[in-house]
Structure formats: structure tokens, C-alpha cells
Amino acid sequence: MQSDSLSMKKRPFFLRWAWREIRQGQLWLVTLALSLIIACVFALSALVSRVEGIIVSQGRSALAADMVLKSSQAVDLQKLSTNKVTTSQQTRFGTMAFSDNGMQLVSVKAVDAKFPLRGDLRLQASDQSMHHHVNPGELWLSERLFSLLDVKVGDTLMLGDGELTISGRILEDPELSFNPFSQMPAVLINNQDIAAIGGIQEGSRISYRYYFSGSDSDLADIRETMKLTPSQRWLTENDAGRSGDFIERARQYLSLTLVLVVLMASATLVLTCQHYASTRITSVAMMKSLGASRRFLWRWLLQQIAVVFSVAIGVGLLLGFGLEWLLRYPLQQLLPDELPTIGFAPLVISLLLALFISLPALGIPLSRLVNASAMNTVQATQTPTSKFSAIWLLLIFPVFAAVWWIGSNIFVWLTLLGMVALLVLLALVGLAAIALLQKIKLGSAYALALSRVNRSKAKTATQLAALTCSLMLLAVIGLLRNELLADWKNTLPADAPNVFAINIAPEQQQAYLAYLDENKLERSEGYPVTRGRLVAINEERFYSNEENSSEEQKADSDSENSRSRDESLRRELNFTWAKTLPTHNEVIVGKWGSSSGVSVESGVAKRLNIALGDKLAFTVGGLEFNATVNSIRDVEWRNMKPNFYFIFTPDVLQSFPATWLVSFRVNDQQSDLLNTLASNYPTVSVLDLRMMATRIQALLAQVSWSLTVLAGLGVLSGLLLIMTLLRLSISERQTEIQLYRTLGASRKRIAATLWFEYGIIALLAGIIAAIGAEFVVGLLVVKGFELPFTLHPFMWLGLPVLAIGLVYLVSRSQIKKLLLPLR
């Protein structure tokens, strides 16, 4: 009973002591570092969770479902559907539409009444009422067809072999595609009306799409049970069309930003914990000299840490909620009304990461503190350390957390590995630079500062590495954000083409282009187009027509050559020829020739193992011909410009019949020009992509703003952490400054010495960080995001200036405080 009573009396004492330690500044830096880790991880992971949810939602809305099966053959949907998954079906085919005043080739999308499963289908009837699904007997036309066919709502339109009454116009279709050849003027009907119009005939080119909506686990089960044929593939928000590229890059950048911010906070926590342990050595030694046991010391320290954690959790979560709200506030106009929920994941992740990081950060220095000798009350001595101590096993926790959290994110691992390799190099460069600076004579204060730096090389290296890494991480976050946004801006600039004209007859080509030039429309070059197939590479033939080849042939083909499954071999492609290659294509291998040659797009060349000098065989209209690869081009498929897998020299293809293609841009005030073109050239198909381009621009704007805000938070967090590091470093100089004053040094001399010392460290950190950031960003951009890399000369000046500016801001107040008691 007496022991329990004594324990109860000790507990408030320990708590009061711990609170006094925080209040008086001994533990506030540790508390601040932990609070920053919890706040930043919570805010960033919460916003990343929301933004990823929005990105996924946008991507799935563009699919009209959570997952889509695209097939050239009908599939028994009942075998795939379950009670937990909602399904829908669409059949696509082309046919002619006839009115009393015209005719037009249209793309028919026959859907059921449940379409779409995601996104918004907006259909406007004659009474201005809005509909969102297609019912049997209804016919909905895209806006342009009303002028092309000279019809109005309520008229009868002959579609194929049947007649349907026009129900209204299509204002918005959620499905999104970057392929202009799939954007024929569209009509929507119900699946039940396919038979009435005779849409499916023997030999018809039919495309089927099966839509699924449900939980990720249920969708994964469906994918596992479905064995795909070469003519089938799954579409998700990541690989549907070209939009999946920037969606995936955005997701990777969000994760990378979060990891880098945690790294900066963790470095600060480690240094603050070491600082706290070093300031408590005298207190621990005094306790030991008075008979305190190691058990008592551990209880004393752990109760202080428990109070620190409690305060840090409260402050960190409060700041985290506030930061997450502040991050969302600028995006209110871009974010949907109903935001995705964040769940408990950000809370769990922030607390677990703080715990795993703090275990070695606090455990290792506190262990050394408890083992400090009682002789430290008389004379400072080094704490004996063995070659191996079980306490170092605590490092397993952050390592395990990193492996579990980062997973297979190649961008983050590239960054971390690059940093580890650079740390050694940076240390050597920093020491070499300091040695060179000793040869410069700038007075006694400068010499004293360099002497101080050289005398405490370990501490100087720690300060230099911490400041350098923080600056480097800030630069990496900002530069990667700029690289991604620049890539997206170049991909789909504001003046990108938004109309394609295809099937221009050769005799119409000159007049058509002249009309565009007369009306001052920005246009591309005219491209002749013919359709054909790639059938062989270096006399190795492919069985691309599954319907006409036996199962044995297909099995042999697949076993001998896995590339025969590539989509480019399973369908007809658009070929063109030209004297010169398009200016928006970059030749990366080889050189464009003038005869018997073909230039190959880099993606298909990589997938099919096509190299320079390979002999390729093609067929057009049943006629086979050969061409030799003379160059490989890098093509940006998302820029909505005419692009081709294969471009031939004129002598190879110009003898084949072809139609012409051109892209151009019209604004909202030039819509009448499209109607005039359709009237003057009724056989030319004009593909109006303005609605699609607007939706893509909106999606890009939303993701761009999200990345900007996240990068801003990362930079702000990094700046706060750098300033904390500088304050911590300068505050450690109190004893040394008192010694200088005792020896007669003036306040002016001491201040100048400190300015020189930290100015030199800041200058070196800024320069070395610029070198490291260029290396890491180059590695990530080229190997990770697969983008071209350019140097960033503004950073070479910006980082040193930023580092010196931060040192000035922090040192100005801190140095005054250090010198104040000595007046």
C-alpha cells in the first residue's frame, strides 16, 4: 500500500515536470516536430485521398462506368454479372441516316436504359426537359446532325432500314476518347431498337462495350474469371484512352509529395531529439549521482514523451484538419459538391508514421542518455557505446513503414535511392569546398568562422546535410510539379485543334484547305490517309485475323511470337505518306529518307521490337508491299493533332487510293463555318471535338490546381522545418558565445563570426542542393515520368539566395537573443 501511495504521488510530479519541460522550451522542439509530422501527413494524405477519389471519379465518369470490357464479339453478360455489380451494355456500329433534305454517315450507340453507370448523360427534349437515360423507341442526335440533316425534334429520321422519331438532342455524353476517328456524329438509341433498323448484318463492323459498376474487390473478381481473347480488353480509369497517362502521373506525384514532406519532418525530429538528449545529460548525471536507477530514469523520460505525444497528437490533428480545409478552399470551384470521404485512413497513417519514425528517433538518443555516466556532473564525457546494441533494432520500424507505405512506387524509390547516393557525395563536396574557402582572406571574423566549422566537422556536416536535403526536397517538389504542368500544357494547349475533317476526296483537297485559309482558321497540314495492316516484320508473319486462322495456327503464333497479341496487329491502321515528317513529331532514332522507307512511332516500335533497318510488310486493299524502317519517332498522342503509327515515303504508298485528313481550330463564334463546310462538302466527315476538348481542359485544370496546392504545402512545410533546424543550431551556441565573451570578444565580432559561419553553410547548401535536385529530378523525369529533361538555371541562383535569406531571417532574431544577456 505504501508503494502504491508513493507511486501515485510520483505520477503527478512526473507529469508536472514533463509539462514544465515543454513549457520552458526543453521539449517544445520535439513536440513541434511530431506535430508537424502528424499535421502534414494527415492533411496531405486526407487531401491526396480526396483528390485521388476525384481523379478516379473523373476517370470513371469518362468511362461511364467503374470498368468496361471492350470486345469485337458479343459476350454473355449474365455469366459475368453478379448481384453485387451493376451492369450495362452498349453496341456501336456505323450506318447511314437519311432525312428529307440530306444524308449522313453516323455512329450509332445502342445502349440500355441503365446507361451510363457513372457520369451524367444529358439529353434535352423539345419541351426543354432533361433526360438522363435512353428508353426504347427514342432517338437522340448530336447537335451537329440537326444542321447536317436539316431536321428538328419530332421529325422522322430513317436510320439504316428503320424509321425513328427524333426525341431530342445530346447535350453531354460522359464517354471520353482521344481518338478522333471514333468521334463520328453520334446518335443514341436503345438496344431494343437495333433489330428494327437492321444495324447488325453479316460482315458489319460492330464494337461491343460492357459496363460494370461495383466495389473494387467485386470488379477484380470479374476480371479474374474472364479470360480475354486477343480482340478483347479491359478499360479502367488508368488506361482508358490517353487520359490515363496524366491521371496516373498525377497520382504518383501526390504520393511522392507526401513522402518527401514526411522525410523533411523526420529529419527535423531526429535532430531535435538528439538536441534534447544532449541538453539533459547533466540532469541525468546528477540524478544518477543522487542514486537514481535506470528504471527510474526510463520512467521519468517515458512519461515526458507520453505527454509530448499527447500534446503533439492533439495539436497535429487540429492543424491537420485546418490545413486540409485550407488546401480545399482554393479548389472549391473545381471540386465536386459531394467530396469523397477520407475515412479513417489519414488518421491511422499519420499516427502510425509518427510512432514508427519517433521510435528510433527518440529511443536511440534516450538510451544513450540513460547510459550517461554520473561523472558528467563534474566533467563532460562521452557516453560509452558498444558496437551493437539492441536499441538500434528500432530502425526496423521506419524501414518497415517505408516499405509498406511506399510499396511499388518507382518514383519514390528512385528519389530515395538518388538521395542516399547523393548524401555521400554531398558530404565530400561540402568538406572540399570548406577547405578551398580557407584560402580566401576576409578578416578575423571570417577566419574564426571557418575555424569553428573545421573544428566541429561532424556537427557541421550534420547541419549542412540537413539544410541541403531540405532545400533539395523543396526543389524536387516544385520542379516536378512544373515539369508535369508544362507537359500537360504542351499536350493540350489552349489553341489545340478541336475539329477534324476526314474522307476529303483528292479532287476536293485543295479547295477545302483554301476555304479554311480564307477564313483564317489555324489548321494542320493535309495528310493523305489509307487504311491497311502490318503483316510481317523481317519476314516473320503475324496471324492478325483470328476469325480466318485455325486454333492451331493461333497457338503456334502465340507461342512463337507474343507480340502478335498487340492491338496494332489486330486491326486496320491509318497510313499516310509525306516528303517531310510532321513538325510535332520528334525523330529519336535514324533519319528520314526519300524512298522505300517508313518512319515508326516509338511506342509501337518498342512493343513490337522494331529496330532501324528492319523490313516491314504491309497490306492495303489486299495488296502487299514492303518498306524499310529509316527512323523512329516520338509521338504525343494526346495533343489532338493528326498522328500516325507509320508514315511512308511517297514512292511507297502514293499509288494507293486515299482520302485526305486535316485538323483545325474553330471558336464558339465560328460554328456557322462548320455548317457551311458540311453543306458545301457533304461527303466530308467533320468531327467536332470542342465539347470533348473543353471537358479535358476542365479535368486538367482541376488536377493542375490540386498539384499546385499540394506543392505549395510541401514547400511551406519544408521552409518551416528549415527555419526550425536553423533555430535549433544557433541556440546550441549559447555556451560557446559565453566563452568568447569571457575571453574578451566583442558583440560585433561574435555576431560577424556567426553571420559568416551560417552564411557559408547556407551558400554551400544552396549550391549543392541545386546540383542534387537537378540529378534527382532528371532521374525521375526521364526514368519515371518518361518526359524530356531540361536544366533549370533559375534554380542555381534561387536555392542559394533562398538558403541565405532563411539564415538571415532566423539568425537576425536568434543572434540578438544570444547576445542580449551579455550587454
Three-class SS state of 497: coil
C-alpha closest to that of 642 among 528, 533, 514: 528
Vertex 247: Cα angle to 244 and 253 (nearest 5) = 140
pLDDT (tens digit per residue) in 699-728: 666 666 666 666 666 666 666 666 666 666
- Average the pLDDT over each of 5-9, 10-14, 51-55, 542-546 and give the range with the smallest value: 5-9
C-alpha closest to that of 237 among 489, 492, 65: 65
CB 717 within 8 A of CB 264: yes
pLDDT of residue 72: 79
Residue 794 has pLDDT above 60, yes or no: yes
Residue 629 has pLDDT above 70, yes or no: yes
Residue 648 has pLDDT above 90, yes or no: yes
Vertex 159: Cα angle to 155 and 161 (nearest 5) = 125
Q: pLDDT category, 731, cuts 50, 70, 90?
A: low
pLDDT of residue 646: 94
For the chain, the first-to-last Cα distance in angstroms comes to: 55
Residue 455 has pLDDT above 90, yes or no: no
The C-alpha cell that represents 639 in the structure block: 495533343
Three-class SS state of 549: coil
Per-residue exposure over 168-180, b if at least 16 CB sit within 10 Å of its own CB, e if not: bbbbebbbbebeb
Three-class SS state of 60: helix
pLDDT of residue 649: 94
The C-alpha cell that represents 183 in the structure block: 468521334
pLDDT of residue 606: 87
CA-CA distance, 615 to 536, in Å (whole number)?
Answer: 8
Please indicate whether residue 113 or residue 717 has the higher confidence score (pLDDT).
113
pLDDT above 90 coverage of the chain, percent: 5
pLDDT of residue 705: 66
pLDDT (tens digit per residue) in 36-86: 788 878 877 787 677 667 667 767 777 788 888 888 778 877 777 677 888
CA-CA distance, 712 to 58, in Å (whole number)?
Answer: 24
Q: pLDDT category, 626, cuts 50, 70, 90?
A: very high
Taking CA atoms, 569 is separated from 539, 573, 601, 785, in Å, by 15, 9, 14, 27
Output the DSSP codes for 595-629: SSEEEEEHHHHHHTT--TT-EEEEEETTEEEEEEE
Residue 286 has pLDDT above 90, yes or no: no
Three-class SS state of 123: strand
Q: Where are the domains of the chain?
A: 1-62+266-400, 67-235, 408-492+689-823, 524-664
C-alpha closest to that of 364 among 330, 413, 397: 397
pLDDT of residue 755: 73
pLDDT of residue 96: 81
pLDDT of residue 546: 41
Residue 142 CB neighbour total at 10 angstroms: 21
Helices (H), 24-164: 28-63, 77-80, 143-148
pLDDT (tens digit per residue) in 259-269: 777 777 777 77
Average pLDDT of the chain? 75
- Average the pLDDT over each of 410-419, 561-570, 575-584, 661-670 and give the range with the smallest value: 561-570
C-alpha closest to that of 730 among 697, 746, 754, 707: 754
Residue owning grid cell 523533411: 264
Q: Which residues pair with 609 in a beta bridge?
A: none
Taking CA atoms, 249 is separated from 400, 419, 811, in Å, by 25, 21, 40
Residue 521 has pLDDT above 60, yes or no: yes
Q: Give residues with Cβ within 8 angstroms of 548, minimum separation 6.
A: none
Pairing state between β 586-590 and 573-577 = unpaired
CA-CA distance, 363 to 395, in Å (whole number)?
Answer: 10
Residue owning grid cell 549543392: 768
> Which contiguous run of DSSP H or E holds residue 576?
strand 573-577
CA-CA distance, 696 to 702, in Å (whole number)?
Answer: 10
pLDDT (tens digit per residue) in 395-451: 787 777 777 767 666 667 766 776 677 666 766 776 677 777 766 766 666 676 676
Q: Give residues with Cβ within 8 angstroms of 10, minimum separation 6.
A: none
Structure letter (DSSP) for residue 258 = H
Report the C-alpha dihedral over residues 21, 23, 26, 29, rounded to 10 degrees: 130
Per-residue exposure over 447-463, b if at least 16 CB sit within 10 Å of its own CB, e if not: ebbbebbeeeeeebbbb
Surface-to-core class of residue 24, CB atoms within 10 Å of its CB (0-12 exposed, 13-18 middle, 19+ buried): exposed
pLDDT of residue 613: 92
CB 576 within 8 A of CB 644: yes
pLDDT (tens digit per residue) in 575-613: 999 988 888 888 998 999 888 899 999 888 988 889 999
Three-class SS state of 139: strand
Residue 799 has pLDDT above 60, yes or no: yes
Return the CA Rg of the chain: 34
> What values do phi and psi take at 235, rounded to 5?
-120, 130
151-156 CB contacts, 8 Å cutoff, 24+ apart: 151/99, 151/101, 153/125, 153/126, 154/126, 155/99
Helix axis angle, 457-491 to 444-455, nearest 10°:
90
Residue 349 has pLDDT above 80, yes or no: yes
The C-alpha cell that represents 591 in the structure block: 533519319
> Which contiguous run of DSSP H or E holds residue 282?
helix 281-289
Residue 694 has pLDDT above 70, yes or no: no
pLDDT of residue 245: 58
Residue 126 has pLDDT above 70, yes or no: yes
Ramachandran category for residue 609: left, alpha or beta (phi over 0 → left; psi -120 to 50 → alpha):
left
CA-CA distance, 59 to 632, in Å (whole number)?
Answer: 31
pLDDT of residue 242: 47
C-alpha closest to that of 189 among 179, 200, 197: 197
Three-class SS state of 645: coil
CA-CA distance, 9 to 13, in Å (whole number)?
Answer: 7
CA-CA distance, 73 to 209, in Å (whole number)?
Answer: 10
Taking CA atoms, 459 is separated from 175, 454, 465, 733, in Å, by 59, 10, 10, 12
Tell me: cis bond preceding 336? Omega within 30 of 0 counts: no
Residue 93 has pLDDT above 80, yes or no: yes
Please indicate whether residue 694 or residue 155 has the higher confidence score (pLDDT).
155
pLDDT (tens digit per residue) in 147-189: 778 888 888 888 877 888 889 988 888 775 544 444 567 889 8
CB 201 within 8 A of CB 172: no
CB 189 within 8 A of CB 139: yes
CA-CA distance, 397 to 403, in Å (whole number)?
Answer: 10
Residue 779 CB neighbour total at 10 angstroms: 17
Q: Which residues pair with 157 in a beta bridge?
A: 164
CA-CA distance, 256 to 253, in Å (whole number)?
Answer: 5
Please indicate whether residue 218 or residue 724 has the higher confidence score (pLDDT).
218
Please indicate whether residue 143 or residue 337 has the higher confidence score (pLDDT).
143
pLDDT of residue 553: 42
Helices (H), 371-443: 396-406, 410-437
Residue 533 CB neighbour total at 10 angstroms: 19
Taking CA atoms, 810 is separated from 544, 725, 815, 816, in Å, by 69, 10, 8, 10
Residue 204 CB neighbour total at 10 angstroms: 11
